[in-house]
Chain A
Amino acid sequence: MQPQTLYDKLWSSHVVRADADGTALLYIDRHLVHEVTSPQAFEGLKLAGRTPWRVDSIVATADHNTPTRDWDQGIRDPISRLQVETLDANIRTYGAKAYFPFLDGRQGIVHVIGPEQGATLPGMTVVCGDSHTSTHGAFAALAFGIGTSEVEHVMATQTLNMKKSKAMLVRVDGALRPGVTAKDVVLAIIGRIGTAGGTGHAIEFAGSVIRGLSMEGRMTLCNMAIEAGARAGMVAADDTTIEYVRGRNFAPKGDLWDRAVAYWRTLHSDEGAKFDTVVTLRGEEIAPQVTWGTSPEMVGSVEGRVPNPARVEDPVKRGSLERALQYMGLQPDMQITDIRIDKVFIGSCTNSRIEDLRAAASVVKGRHVAASVKLAMVVPGSGLVKRQAEAEGLDRVFREAGFDWREPGCSMCLAMNDDRLEPGERCASTSNRNFEGRQGAGGRTHLVSPAMAAAAAIAGRFVDVRQML
């Protein structure tokens, strides 16, 4: 048999039927659901008199709209509250394998709780009405975001009509230097291939640097595959994967565990498998990254400078660069380390897991947030992450340094709740999107790793975290 890529294996094992032109009906194993992209799908189901095909594939939570403080007062914004209550009501009507509603101790960002609960397993197809579903590809799963019509389609049929994407291999060889994290790796990759570099592709991340990452690091990496234009990112299964899954709530047990592991061990690209596109990077060459523009590809090393549009020839590129610098309020050629910040956000499905919080806390410990910083906040990815961090005393480290310690949720990653930037405010953020207005109308977002965000909070401007380790 021809050598296969991991993507080939995941794809072909889920094809229910295929047409001559390559359109396939793909079976979906896990359907993650949240309050923002599901109400219209449930409504569509109801209007058509249909019922979910397989309720026990559904794992649901409320995360985008939920407040991060004063939980005893409920959700004060009536429109947000209605959306969350609509999810409550829909799950009551239709059921789910698991539901972690607002106020539940296990509630959290959908992409944090799926893996945490063992609801994401190697070899699965995982979908969610959310583009960062690519996160779950870290488990050698085929995971991708879908729109609300597709959410309804999956509920009604347990399948999706799809065409196979092209396969891209992104190999990061060598080793990372201290202070450089998965976030820096993925930002460097996006800087190299661009936000449309992966369009039409499924990306497999490989190489010694990727093998050396923890599962949490791999999730950070795959999370941002979508920021490189790829609906799905993935990493082959290995001991790290299997050890992470072992013992989790919905992970298989006993005999089934052994059978599952035997299968999971096959989830890697075969020697000699062909990719349509191959990109390689060296780990040693990656420095801590900071975005300076309004797209994740507008990124560079913390040691570098903001680019100068005058040196760009292509008029369309020059125009978008000028617009980005104007929006961001930055001068051409200024040092990244001269950029001063107003707020710091440590959180989001990219970087809100326990290792992220540990990394940030280790920088913050014994130091204090700069007086010029108006707000520095830590929003754990889930109730369980929060509890773990508190058991380790990380909440105290953050609080003593002047950080807010909040309840879990998406929070200022997209500012659907009360946490947001005011016009003109500048934020060091561990999230994944620096689009105009993403964290609040007129807000200016710089994407960084948790350690870099922590360092920026202390210094009041971007600094190379390696000087603070």
Chain B
Amino acid sequence: MDKFTVLDGLVAPLDRPNVDTDAIIPKQFLKSIKRSGFGPNLFDEWRYLDRGEPGMDNAARPRNPKFVLNQPRYSGASILLARENFGCGSSREHAPWALTDFGFRSIIAPSFADIFFNNSYKNGLLPVVLPAAVVDRMFVEAEGTPGFRITIDLPKQLVVTPDGKSYPFEIDAFRKHCMINGLDEIGLTLQHADEIRAYESRRRETQPWLFA
């Protein structure tokens, strides 16, 4: 996993609540057995005017000029600004894979769905929860100011806007540690292998039917 420390990036505003994982990456692309290559089909049904299928030449497909990510001013954005309950729906990790493959490193929203929130951390995609009023203001600025960039400082847990204002955000200490150092969580957990084994043998005694 890539390390995440301080990100200075262009902001793309996606002004819809309850963006679900079917919208982020439609199911026909879930047939892939790989982890990469989902970026061109991120938000497929909103981005393109035709029906997307795996194996198509996406560069040749007709684009919906109205969709925010098709507007040249947002090209190269690495921060997605979103509304509440972002990432609701399925557990598909293809959603964060598609977002990171497209180039996003962070999403700012007033709230996230739980599974998506978890999946994001495992892929170096930082979900940042800010109060709805702050997000509202950022929407106005991102839409009103071409080239609107912000800085996300993970070690300091701050989002800094061009006017110099900074907004603190919360993150769990363990997740922060893993993100900043780009750590493999499995390796960390296996440091506790003895404890897992001890627990397992106790469980085998008290609930033997689970091991029958």
The answer to whether residues A149 and B27 also contact, given A37-B92, A159-B196 and a CB cut-off of 8 A, is no
B20 engages A121 (CB within 8 Å): no
Residues on the A chain within 8 Å of B8, using CB? none
- A301 at interface, CB cutoff 8 A: no
The answer to whether residues A229 and B88 also contact, given A256-B212, A260-B207 and a CB cut-off of 8 A, is yes
The answer to whether residues A29 and B210 also contact, given A36-B30, A437-B23 and a CB cut-off of 8 A, is yes
A415 engages B212 (CB within 8 Å): no
A48 engages B209 (CB within 8 Å): no
A161 engages B91 (CB within 8 Å): no
Q: Name the residue on B nearest A251 (C-beta).
A: B209
Query: Which has the most chain A C-beta neighbours within 10 Å: B51, B90, B174?
Result: B90
Contact of B17 among A65, A153, A316 (CB under 8 A): A316
B45 engages A25 (CB within 8 Å): no
Q: With the chains together, A163 CA to B170 CA distance in Å?
A: 14
Residues on the B chain within 8 Å of A129, using CB? 91, 93
CB contact list, B55-109 vs A, under 8 A? 55, 83-85, 88-93, 96
B16 engages A157 (CB within 8 Å): no
B114 engages A200 (CB within 8 Å): yes
- A21 at interface, CB cutoff 8 A: yes
**Number of inter-chain CB pairs below 8 Å:** 191
A153 engages B35 (CB within 8 Å): no
Contact of B27 among A130, A323, A414, A436 (CB under 8 A): A414
Residues on the A chain within 8 Å of B184, using CB? 48
Residues on the B chain within 8 Å of A121, using CB? 209-210
Residues on the A chain within 8 Å of B22, using CB? 414, 433, 435-438
- A80 at interface, CB cutoff 8 A: yes
Q: With the chains together, A156 CA to B187 CA distance in Å?
A: 9
Q: Name the residue on B nearest A27 (C-beta).
A: B199
**Bitwise interface map of B from 1 to 42 toward A, beta carbon under 8 Å scored 1, else 0:** 000000000000001111010110011101111110000000
Residues on the A chain within 8 Å of B31, using CB? 36, 65, 77, 79-80, 82-83, 416
B91 engages A158 (CB within 8 Å): no
Contact of A146 among B91, B173, B196, B207 (CB under 8 A): B91
Q: With the chains together, A150 CA to B123 CA distance in Å?
A: 11
**Bitwise interface map of A from 217 to 252 toward B, beta carbon under 8 Å scored 1, else 0:** 000000000100111000000000000000000001
* A125 to B: closest C-beta gap in Å: 10
- B172 at interface, CB cutoff 8 A: yes
Residues on the A chain within 8 Å of B34, using CB? 39-40
B189 engages A153 (CB within 8 Å): yes
Contact of A195 among B16, B18, B172 (CB under 8 A): B18
Q: With the chains together, A65 CA to B174 CA distance in Å?
A: 36
B196 engages A415 (CB within 8 Å): no
* A283 to B: closest C-beta gap in Å: 27
Residues on the A chain within 8 Å of B54, using CB? 79
Chain A residues in the interface with B (C-beta under 8 A): 16-17, 19, 21, 23, 25, 27, 29, 36-37, 39-40, 43, 48, 50, 53-54, 56, 64-65, 77, 79-80, 82-83, 86, 121, 123-124, 129-131, 133, 145-150, 152-153, 156-159, 161, 163, 165, 195-196, 199-200, 226, 229-231, 252, 256-257, 259-260, 263, 295, 316-317, 319-320, 323, 414-416, 423, 433, 435-438, 441-442
Chain B residues in the interface with A (C-beta under 8 A): 15-18, 20, 22-23, 26-28, 30-35, 45, 51-52, 54-55, 83-85, 88-93, 96, 111, 113-115, 118-119, 122-123, 172-174, 184-186, 189-190, 192-193, 195-196, 199-200, 203, 207-212
A-B contact pairs, 11 of them (CB 8 A): A17-B192, A39-B34, A146-B91, A149-B122, A149-B123, A159-B189, A199-B114, A263-B207, A415-B27, A436-B23, A437-B23
